[in-house]
A and B are shown apart, each in its own frame.
Chain A
């Protein structure tokens, strides 16, 4: 059952997610906006095209997008669906989750360096620099949840989380905020990165894929959308209580994913991209939130310091 829900999500969610963001931005600007499923049409259009490959590149450039999409799909299977549980679950699955995403990042960076383009090298360098802040914060977050529940897998952590004491609400909110920053950073949205920018010098993620075209570009766009859905579903797991009706759980899941995309759209309408040197400060908020939550847990759970 969780697998069926996950497959439904995999098929449609990344396109809708990006479509909603674009629609919100359009509405905010007083425009009508593209169809909600425009990203899907783009995806299909790209799949039907041929490719142009730089003569500088090696095989790495061609395998990276496929690795990218496979990692994202696999990572999604590791995340439980509220009420239904997860498809793949074992102790320590969150480590595999983080490292599989690391694998796709590794190959994306190498593919960028593979083109020999100075722009793509620049994007790769920025991408990994920001990851050095995100990853430890994510592990503080997961570690705190493991500490709070005494469990070591996504499924068991989330199933025990909401049955714990009242202060977990505070922690859930802190972590949802932290995960939201992670969505923005990993999904390359404003204020970390602007997906609509037209100047290579200011890009991060977009600049790494300048040379990709055709089906490979379709894979990359799909993965980028899916990555945001991935972390939204993770945040939804935090917020949705376990002891509710399955239909309500699914509705809440969709609702939270919808809400995050709307908020991202609103943020993009209201804000400009932050200066590159200010981006780390923004991402450090995630570290701070995670640390605060950890302190709260230690305070309540192990009050005898």
Chain B
């Protein structure tokens, strides 16, 4: 079975290679065909494992230094494989249409599909490979191939800069992983993940330091604060299909990595559990605070990805706390929240990035202050975008609520445990999550309301039109998943609980059943709400049936010459809130006036700063740079000096060889 799965993984890459040899529009079609074929191999085996438990294992022998590499598909890996596989297929459908916008002579479509395939294959392999060296290889392959996708529009300078920044961030993350894997490998003498269990499971400082190294390594990929700074740079630079895949899926490989390490840890150290929970809460709050202040749609979405990674992390932290305090139900709910939110974030973030791409292509701008009223030009896109925007804010009826509910419930359940520190932590998490939720409402009503509602703030050069069917298809599929999970959570939850049960050693069916019961009563309550909604709408229909409905202009307070520039902008919408939190999200305002007696023009420029980036990342980089400058003399740029290095090296080698002989 695993061989078929592996074949499926490789098929994406083969599709990418095949696309090189085909000309014109057929490139995308052939890539898509291979993508479909891959589903046939990947989905059945993954679903089989999720439904029936167990795992597939394959051992492949490579030459040194990899040696014997084991590949395992367990329920955790299967869950991620399904997300990656389905999500990538949707993104490739979208990308076919998205690339039509680009000039084929100027941009290399071949390299796009090649790296796209490579990225998908490597992501799929990441979740099954359980040999540290092979893992690092596919991990790096993933980073590098996504780098080439980010710099697709490489003629733009900011895109190249963002790409380089991204690549460096990934390498910093990878270096932590390499250190961790090398260290643990040197202790156990093995590269197999299963052998790490003995070290990570044991008490003591080594397991704690190793966990921190792994967390930083994987956390950089996932975007935990303070390793999040690459996200708002790389996401806007990449084409939208790629942004969707990076945000919706690739970040989750970082989450997968952390979950895998937690799995190997057994009962986690209590301090680590608190650490993960606190960092995640800070990540969530930082992410959404910065999202609110953004004007660029994709930058806003990138920051909101950071927020959602924080929510997933809170789930993981709660699960770890549940394990370490031996609170079975809390642990179940924590890991359930983490895994479910991973799926949910993929669905709504894909919709939002796809929608952002459509808006960008149709209007030529990503600045929401220049947009408005798009719902009239592209109603279907707008409605699906709204579904995504409401789901990401955790609104009931949609899937975001279902995963956040698990998180809230887990925290509420932990209150019955008698420990002041746990209680205080959980009340902080409880109200913190509520704060994140309401800030998400602010951020996404701003994003949707300013972009799609009201009147256009600036005249569009070309009148935007409804998106084509190929654009809408992946969005509609995601919206369908959103509603299915949102209204009928029980079925999906039973599937995910199989993966959750891996984490909780006490494999009791009592918790399994109580979670399912709670969710079925939640589903019942939601169906009552739907019934009330239907009742109210029918009543409204009958009340209004014979009444006159007149269409007139908006109330303008008696002011006659209204123009669309008078509308509230995104910045003014978020200003009252940003003034409250000015200490954390400082805004800089520059007023530029002409230095004349009777100035004609004045300009106002505002910019926001990422607080965490400024107080943590930038000073850190400064210190590192000044430290490394001490060694700058080595790289002097003088040819003579380099020749001297070669000479010294040769002499040392000769001495060494002579010494050995």
Residues of A near any B CB (own CB < 8 A) = 47, 49-58, 60, 63, 66-67, 69-71, 73-74, 77-78, 88, 90-93, 95-96, 98-100, 102-103, 105-106, 109-110, 113-122, 124-126, 128-129, 131-133, 135-140, 142-144, 146-147, 150, 152, 200, 210-211, 214-216, 219, 280, 294, 298, 302, 304-305
Contact = CB atoms under 8 A, between A and B. Distances in A.
Interface in B386-431: 386, 390, 393-397, 401, 404-405, 408-409, 411-413, 415-416, 418-420, 423-424, 426-427, 430-431
Which residue of B401, B522, B536 has the most chain A CB atoms within 10 A of its CB atom? B536
A67 B533 contact: yes
A58 to B, nearest CB: 5
27 contacts: A47-B543, A50-B547, A50-B549, A51-B548, A52-B549, A52-B551, A53-B549, A55-B552, A56-B554, A71-B529, A90-B525, A91-B521, A96-B396, A99-B396, A106-B445, A110-B386, A113-B453, A116-B453, A120-B568, A124-B449, A126-B576, A131-B438, A132-B580, A135-B438, A138-B434, A143-B430, A298-B424
Given A96-B396, A116-B554, A280 B580 contact: yes
A139 B580 contact: no
B71 interface: no
Contact of B395 (A63, A106, A136, A302): A106
A287 to B, nearest CB: 9
Contact of B547 (A49, A58, A116, A280): A49
Contacts of A302: 418-420, 423
Contact of B435 (A128, A132, A215): A132
Contacts of B575: 125
B547 A150 contact: no
A118 B568 contact: yes
Contact of B529 (A47, A70, A216): A70
Is chain A's binding surface mostly helix, strand, loop or mixed? helix
B574 interface: yes
B511 to A, nearest CB: 13
The 7 lowest CB-CB distance pairs between A and B, nearest first, are: A121-B568, A113-B449, A116-B454, A90-B521, A50-B548, A139-B434, A150-B416
B412 A92 contact: yes
B518 interface: yes
Given A51-B544, A146-B412, A128 B556 contact: no
A53 B568 CA distance: 20
Which residue of A78, A214, A304 has the most chain B CB atoms within 10 A of its CB atom? A214
Interface in B522-576: 522, 524-526, 528-529, 532-533, 535-537, 540, 543-544, 547-557, 564, 566-568, 572-576
B396 A143 contact: no
Contacts of A214: 544, 547
A114 B453 contact: yes
Which residue of B395, B557, B568 has the most chain A CB atoms within 10 A of its CB atom? B568
Contacts of A280: 580
A53 B532 contact: no
Contacts of A152: 409, 412-413, 415
Contacts of A219: 536, 540
A103 B453 contact: no
Nearest to A128: B442
